[in-house]
């Protein structure tokens, strides 16, 4: 009854007044209304969303009051402007306006919304800048000079330092917090701080990128530059040219971020020690190295250890060097994805790869019918499955269920091999493989899972495969007995 009376009162306000004030009690009642009621009160044309989209996030808090689902709208200006609603009877000291929950433009007109008093309200502004640091730009002159408010803003987004007062742009604590959050924010600090070596050292230790805004004199200071690149290798780009040629400085930079090699001098991009350090940190540094070092086997091998794609940055000569590429594949089997077309189509080379125990992540379709290559590939994969079994079940004492889920069920058993169905469903081929590696039974096609002879040979070669058989629904004991091969012990 009380709620109905309040809703009726709201209807009258909207009908009789071009600009109506809604009290907190009225807003609270509105927050509990369903879509149909909202439409009845404000009119269908005033409701911007469909019933399925009526819920929006919190609009505001007043004390402990949580006002939700007030109105479906794309823009707060639409409610407060077109409908002429004003929020009244609110204690501004308690109001916390949650802007990050509203579809509202950054250039909100507080005065138009009747909320201009908030811009001089410290309680509100402290809350607002924690969520949207740019709110500091709307704050009153007094609050832009309030250290507590500005600190909250720059901790949220260092760039908010641009809105701070002149005095606070010279405040060491405020500027340090801004630079900590965003190194480039140091650009808004006072010139005095940018030229203070002791202070700049403190700044670049927390964010090396701040070197970009240090005075030109300090960009030429070795101690400052070293501290900056140790914290962030990319700071090397803001150092003076002399330090981009300085081996010690560049080494510090690439150890922190290998891609910082991009800002080293031409001479140092051709320095083997520097490039090796860069590649150890990030394989992509090979792309930034000199053409001479892209043809250096030691350098390229170091890069492909961490990422096979690094072969793409090697010289054409190395990409087509059979011996080198094979060695690279041994370091990282993923390299096979990036070998040249010439080697990819070289059957002799591919056969050499699989005979070295390497599981190709992918094979051209033409090799799926190559018995010798497929035999070696599947055998290698079966050996890998056995290694995982030993590692997880035997050594780590994990339950077989975990091995099954993480190794077999997850797809590792078929990881990118794209094995020929024709081959894995070929009885003679798979029988020969399980004789050499019992764990190849995991890879046989479904049509062979109940083949007693294959099961018998698999167990004969490696009894540990029984753990897998016991996990499946295969009645392997009966199948072997049917095959009349009972000359071995079959214990669980």
* DSSP secondary structure string for all residues of 441-491: GGGS-GGGTT-HHHHHHHHHH-TTHHHHHHHSS--HHHHHHHTT---S---
Q: Tens digit of pLDDT for each residue in 64-89?
A: 333 333 333 323 333 333 333 333 33
377 and 403 in contact (C-beta within 8 Å)? no
Which helix (H) or strand (E) covers residue 16, if one does?
Answer: helix 2-16
With CA atoms as reference, report the closest residue to 356 among 389, 333, 388.
333
- Residue 370 is predicted with a pLDDT of 83
pLDDT of residue 90 exceeding 50, the answer is no
Structural domain boundaries in the chain: 1-115, 348-492
For range 353-381, the mean pLDDT? 81
Q: Which of 11-15, 57-61, 295-299 comes out lowest in average pLDDT?
A: 57-61
Query: Which of helix, strand or coil describes residue 190?
Result: coil
65 and 49 in contact (C-beta within 8 Å)? no
Q: How far is 292 from 300, CA to CA, in rounded Å? A: 11
Q: How far is 60 from 230, CA to CA, in rounded Å? A: 45
pLDDT of residue 274 exceeding 90, the answer is yes
Q: Which two tokens stand for residue 456?
A: 């018998």
Beta bridge mates, 86: 21
pLDDT of residue 32 exceeding 70, the answer is no
Beta-carbon neighbour count of residue 170 at 10 Å? 15
Exposed / middle / buried, residue 360 (Cβ in 10 Å: 0-12, 13-18, 19+): buried
pLDDT of residue 182 exceeding 90, the answer is yes
Q: Which two tokens stand for residue 288?
A: 């930034």
């Amino acid at each position: 009854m009380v709620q109905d009376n309040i809703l009726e009162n709201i209807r009258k306000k909207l009908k009789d007044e071009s600009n109506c004030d809604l009290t907190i009690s009225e807003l609270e009642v509105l927050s509990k209304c369903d879509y149909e009621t909202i439409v009845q009160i404000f009119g269908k044309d005033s409701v911007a969303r469909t019933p399925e989209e009526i819920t929006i996030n919190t609009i505001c808090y007043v004390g402990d009051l949580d006002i939700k689902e007030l109105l479906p709208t794309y823009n707060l200006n639409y409610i407060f402007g077109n409908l002429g609603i004003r929020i009244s009877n609110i204690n501004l000291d308690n109001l916390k306006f949650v802007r990050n929950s509203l579809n509202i433009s950054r250039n909100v007109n507080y005065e138009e919304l009747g909320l201009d008093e908030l811009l001089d309200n410290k309680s509100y502004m402290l809350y607002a800048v924690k969520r949207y640091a740019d709110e500091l730009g709307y704050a009153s002159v007094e609050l832009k000079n309030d250290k507590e408010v500005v600190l909250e803003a720059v901790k949220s987004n260092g760039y908010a330092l641009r809105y701070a007062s002149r005095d606070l742009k010279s405040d060491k604590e405020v500027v340090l917090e801004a630079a900590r959050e965003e190194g480039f924010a140091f650009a808004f600090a006072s010139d005095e701080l940018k030229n203070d070596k002791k202070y700049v050292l403190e700044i670049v230790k927390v964010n090396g990128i701040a070197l970009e805004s240090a005075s030109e004199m300090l960009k030429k200071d070795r101690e400052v530059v070293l501290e900056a690149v140790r914290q962030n290798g990319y700071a090397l780009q803001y150092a003076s040219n002399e330090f981009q040629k300085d081996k010690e400085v560049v080494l510090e930079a690439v150890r922190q971020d290998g891609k910082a090699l991009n800002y080293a001098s031409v001479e140092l991009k051709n320095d083997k020690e520097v490039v090796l350090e860069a590649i150890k940190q990030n394989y992509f540094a090979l792309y930034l190295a000199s053409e001479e070092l892209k043809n250096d086997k030691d350098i390229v091998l170091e890069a492909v250890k961490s990422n096979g794609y690094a072969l793409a940055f090697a010289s054409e000569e190395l990409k087509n060097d059979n011996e080198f590429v094979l060695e690279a594949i041994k370091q990282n089997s993923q390299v096979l994805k990036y070998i040249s077309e010439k080697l990819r189509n070289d059957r002799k080379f591919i056969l050499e790869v699989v005979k070295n125990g390497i599981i190709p992540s992918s094979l051209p379709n033409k090799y799926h019918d190559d018995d010798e290559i497929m035999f070696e590939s599947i055998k290698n994969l079966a050996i890998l499955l056995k290694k995982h079994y030993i590692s997880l079940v035997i050594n780590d004492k994990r339950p077989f269920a975990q091995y099954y889920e993480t190794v077999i069920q997850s797809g590792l058993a078929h990881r990118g091999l794209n094995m020929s169905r024709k081959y894995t469903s070929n009885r003679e081929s798979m029988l020969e493989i399980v004789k050499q590696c019992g764990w190849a039974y995991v890879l046989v096609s479904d049509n062979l899972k109940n083949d007693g002879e294959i099961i018998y040979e698999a167990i004969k070669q490696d009894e540990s495969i029984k753990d897998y058989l016991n996990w499946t629904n295969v009645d392997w004991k009966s199948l072997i007995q049917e095959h009349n091969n009972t000359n071995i012990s079959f214990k669980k």
